[in-house]
């Protein structure tokens, strides 16, 4: 797959548009690019490398001659069309949750488990956005000190839900500022000036599906089936950029200075950690950038061999589009 014919499924959504931008920014060796979306996007077009590309309507015949298909259209679309694309000879990199926990489908973050990408049988899964930015930081620390337990609380931006959620947040802010009633359609409660400890549906055990994803996906990506992980995921009124408070317990002692040294040399990680100078990762500064930023690295004095840290990343890029393109880069290399 030296110079593949590429299709982007869900090309008009926030992640699909970001995929197109990342392909161009990283000079991915695309022979031809096909943009695919639903019927309601018929007639739209986008620029790519100086050309205007029309959006085609996705159907069962869309993947003839396609070598690589990047999916960003939701689990139901992926379940239907990803096997069709793979059956037509394309390698699928799927951003939805449809295949992530399928034992036959590799779940890949290139900085963590690149070799798993080559075990695919036509479909490779892109992990959840909040999982990706965390495991990029966890893996180098695990390789050095061996992680026993992870406790994570996320603060996830509305763009993780989609453009309708972004519009709802902005509309609610305008309504509040003008003294008008606030309307809630995307989220069950007002998101403007509020935090919702509710991402995806609640399960019988009291956790949400998003929290369950973080647990199971972290174990699969890092290859540690019994890793102790627990999560609380929170939606916050931020447009782009997920933030995470992470507590990590290790098999042996680790001090913050050594952790900073390890992370400073890790691929995909940038350390910003100078509290005295008010320097730490911020969601508003990560937008449009690729790394997982980490700071507030400090000892947890409540237990043995533990650190607290703060991770921030652009959920549309490393959390979705960029990671998918990086997987594709592994295949063409």
The C-alpha angle with vertex 322 and arms to 244 and 282, in degrees rounded to 5, equals 30
- For 328, phi and psi rounded to 5 degrees? -60, -35
Residue 286 annotated in active site: no
Please state, in angstroms and rounded to a whole number, the distance separating the CA atoms of residues 25 and 225.
36
Rounded to 10 deg, the angle between the 256-264 and 129-145 helix axes is 110
* Per-residue tokens: 291: 């790394």
The DSSP H or E segment spanning 211 is helix 209-222
Closest CA to 10 of 118, 92, 131: 92
Which residues, in sequence order, are bridge partners of residue 199?
A: none
User: What separation in angstroms does the CA of 274 have from each of 159, 231, 299?
Assistant: 28, 27, 15
* 3-state helix, strand and coil shares in percent for the chain, rounded to the nearest 5: 35, 25, 40
What does 296-309 look like in DSSP terms, one character per residue? EEEE-TTSSSEEEE
CB atoms < 10 A from the CB of 2, how many?
8
Q: Which residue out of 189, 195, 198, 242 is catalytically annotated?
A: 242
Say if residues 276 and 319 touch (Cβ distance below 8 Å). Answer: no
Catalytic status, residue 242: yes
Residue tagged active-site, from 129, 184, 189, 195: 129
Which residues are 221's β-sheet partners? none
Contact in structure between 280 and 273 (CB atoms under 8 Å): yes
User: What is the token pair recorded at 128?
Assistant: 């959840």
Length of the chain: 333
What CA–CA distance (Å, rounded) separates 21 from 300?
40
How many Cα atoms sit within 13 Å of 212 on the Cβ side? Answer: 13
Going by C-beta distance under 8 Å and a sequence separation of 6 or more, which residues neighbour residue 207? 231
> Which amino acids are annotated catalytic?
129, 242
């Amino acid at each position: 797959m030296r110079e593949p014919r590429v299709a982007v499924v869900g090309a008009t959504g926030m992640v699909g548009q970001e995929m197109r931008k990342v392909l161009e920014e990283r000079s991915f060796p695309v022979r031809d690019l096909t943009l695919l979306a639903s019927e309601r996007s018929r007639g739209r077009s986008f620029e790519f490398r100086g050309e205007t590309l029309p959006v085609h309507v996705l159907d069962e015949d869309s993947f003839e001659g396609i070598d690589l298909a990047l999916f960003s259209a939701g689990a139901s679309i992926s379940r239907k069309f990803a096997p069709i694309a793979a059956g037509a000879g394309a390698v699928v990199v799927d951003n939805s949750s449809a295949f992530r926990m399928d034992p036959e489908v590799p779940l890949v973050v290139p900085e963590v488990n690149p070799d798993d990408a080559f075990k695919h049988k036509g479909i490779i899964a892109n992990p959840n956005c909040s999982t990706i930015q965390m495991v990029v930081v966890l893996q180098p620390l695990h390789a050095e000190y061996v992680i026993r337990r992870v406790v994570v609380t996320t603060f996830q931006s509305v763009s993780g839900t989609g453009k309708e959620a972004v519009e709802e947040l902005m509309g609610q802010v305008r309504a509040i500022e003008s003294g008008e009633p606030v309307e809630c359609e995307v989220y069950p409660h007002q998101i403007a000036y509020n935090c919702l400890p509710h991402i995806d549906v609640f399960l019988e055990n009291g956790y949400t599906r998003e929290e369950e994803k973080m647990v199971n996906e972290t174990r699969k990506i890092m290859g540690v089936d019994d890793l102790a992980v627990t999560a609380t995921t929170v939606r916050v009124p931020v447009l782009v950029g997920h933030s995470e408070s992470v507590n990590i317990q290790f098999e042996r002692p680790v001090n913050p200075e050594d952790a900073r040294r390890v992370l400073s040399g890790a691929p995909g990680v940038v350390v910003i950690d100078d509290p005295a100078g008010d320097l730490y990762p911020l969601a508003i500064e990560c937008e449009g950038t690729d790394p997982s930023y980490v700071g507030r690295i400090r000892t947890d004095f409540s237990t043995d061999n533990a650190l607290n840290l703060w991770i921030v990343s652009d959920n549309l890029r490393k959390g979705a589009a960029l990671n998918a393109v990086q997987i594709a880069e592994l295949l063409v290399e």
